[in-house]
Amino acid sequence: MEAITLMADLDAGATGAMTGGGYPTASGRFIGPVLRRPPRREAMAAYARWLPLINYENRQCGLQACKVLMREGRRDHPPTPCATRCSALPPATRAGLIEIARNLDPVVLALGPLIAGGSGPMCARKARPLTCP
């Protein structure tokens, strides 16, 4: 299942999801409550808040969305070549994705400070080039 059909899939009995990699912490805000059942209203509110990004990723960006957001979060990281099956996003599409994401403040957009000079497990690892699956 993907994030665009997540609520319907969970209602139909799914017990997990493989949503976009650009917002895993947000996905947990609506998947967890639905699986635990009682606070469904909170899960629906969280899902509704993130739905513009989920929809934009699904309809406009495809596999490139996560890579674009990761690169945006690590501004010091140069672009890397991508496999031929993943074409670069048009500049307007890329800008739209980043604009929607910034309004939601996903963790992925804060990767630069975490890797460049912060502390914790993310900072201890050497940054590797981002590649398309």
Q: Has this prediction a pTM greater than 0.75? A: no
Provide the CA 11 distance to its chain's centre, in angstroms: 22
Give the pLDDT confidence score for residue 129 in this predicted structure: 46
* Residue range 3-124, CATH number: 3.20.20.70
For 102, residues 6+ apart whose C-beta sits below 8 A from its C-beta are 109
- What band does 87 get if pLDDT is binned at 50, 70 and 90? confident
CA distance 132 to 49: 27
Name which of 50, 54, 43, 67 is nearest 1 in CA terms.
Answer: 54
Q: Which residues of 1-22 are buried (b: 16+ CB within 10 A; e: fewer)?
A: eebbebbebbeeeeeebebbbb
Instruction: Report the pLDDT value the prediction gives residue 125, as an integer from 0 to 100.
Output: 42
Q: In Å, what is the CA distance from 130 to each residue of 46, 49, 63, 74, 117?
A: 28, 28, 12, 10, 19
